[in-house]
Each structure stands twice: as structure tokens, then as C-alpha cells.
Structure 1
């Protein structure tokens, strides 16, 4: 089961909304929820695109973490475009 780091409560994969930004606790990497696998894992994809991976321990991001991650992804996109 996916668990939150903050309060230790269990977050069932079906409770992770598709398209939500979540933190993979094991990797320390945030990703967008792309799907669920067998009720024990969530498939995440990096915010800027890339390969999906399975995460079994995820948590919601704090507002501060989400802002930092979204800003970093935007900055990377602008760098790639040469702006």
C-alpha cells in the first residue's frame, strides 16, 4: 500500500487521482500519477516527461514542494526552447 510520510496513514493506489503530483518516498522523486497497478503500486512519470516507473510508497507533496517542482520543470522547458 502507498503510505504518506507525514502522518503514516495508508493511501490506497485507487485514492491517488490520475494526473496528481505525488512524491515517491523510496526514490525521493516527484511524478505525475499515470495509473495504478494491482492495488499495491502507482505508476508515476516525471513532470517534464520521460519513462514511467512503479512506486509503492507515495505521499502528497507539500504546497512548497509542489511549487518548487513546477517552477523547476518550467525553467527546464524554457531552457530547452532557448528562452
Structure 2
């Protein structure tokens, strides 16, 4: 992704370094971004050059994974 990509706080992005979807929660030094997973888990720092907007399929995949995890706990 180009250096011009500046995701807004609250936007959902795909971190190509970790192959993970996260919500932008803050900026640090104008270059590093802190992301929060859409499901449970700790926040992580990401380089904005390695981010791109998450596709609808990537966002849906997170929801499906979360639903599967919940259903497995009920068994």
C-alpha cells in the first residue's frame, strides 16, 4: 500500500504483515498505527505502509470465525 494511505480512526483495515483484520484505534508518530482485532485479543502496532482497506470478505471472515468459536464453547 502506498504511503499516502491514511486510515481514519475507527476504520477497518487488513494488516498484510500479520494477515489480520483490525480496527484503527490510534496513530503514533504519524507512521505507526495501533489496531484492535474485531473479535477478542490484544491491540497491536502496525506500519501504515503494510495496511490496506479490509475487503467485505475479510470483514465477514472475522465474524464467521467469532461465531464458530462461540458455537464450539456451547458444545
TM-score, length basis structure 1: 0.70
Whether 2:37 is the aligned partner of 1:11: answer no
The 3-state SS of whatever aligns with 1:10 is: coil
Taking the TM superposition and a 5 Å limit, the aligned residue runs for 1:45-64 are: 45-56=36-47, 57-64=50-57
The count of residues paired between Structure 1 and Structure 2 equals 73
Report the alpha carbon displacement of residue 73 of structure 1 after superposing the two structures with TM: 2.0
Structure 2: give runs of 5+ residues left out of the alignment.
none
Taking the TM superposition and a 5 Å limit, the aligned residue runs for 1:22-41 are: 22-41=13-32
Structure 1: give runs of 5+ residues left out of the alignment.
none
Backbone CA RMSD of aligned residues:
2.0
